[in-house]
């Protein structure tokens, strides 16, 4: 499989996790791009859909890599692993999906 890889994380934070805690986690998540050379780009946002299909997920994170190998290196990188130990205890639900965008039909 060739082409860029998009790593998508959908998150629902546990009740009681403060706005300040979430902001710090997001800052730390975004900072990974400064420590892990395989990260091509990082974007995040909160759900703004009017369809009411979010199933409680409120935050979306997208990290882009040049290759599947770069994505694998990122997942195993000690800074990413350490961040995960901070993030996961604050989450009620999480979904992680990786995909290689297909060319238009």
Residues carrying an active site annotation = 74, 77
Judged on CB neighbours under 10 Å (0-12, 13-18, 19+), 39 is buried
Our measurement of the distance from residue 103's CA atom to the centroid of its chain's CA atoms, rounded to an integer in Å, reads: 23
Going by C-beta distance under 8 Å and a sequence separation of 6 or more, which residues neighbour residue 1?
68, 100
Which of 12, 7, 10 is closest to 90 using CA atoms? 12
Angle at 57 between CA 56 and CA 59, to 5 degrees: 145
């Amino acid at each position: 499989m060739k082409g860029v890889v998009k790593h998508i994380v959908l998150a629902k934070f546990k009740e009681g996790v403060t706005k300040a805690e979430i902001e710090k986690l997001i800052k730390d998540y975004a900072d990974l791009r400064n420590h892990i050379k395989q990260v091509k780009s990082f974007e995040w946002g909160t759900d703004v859909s009017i369809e009411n299909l979010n199933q409680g997920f409120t935050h979306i994170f997208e990290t882009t890599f040049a290759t599947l190998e770069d994505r694998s290196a990122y997942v195993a990188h000690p800074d990413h692993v350490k961040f995960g130990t901070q993030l996961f205890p604050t989450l009620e639900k999480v979904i992680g999906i990786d995909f290689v965008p297909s060319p238009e039909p």
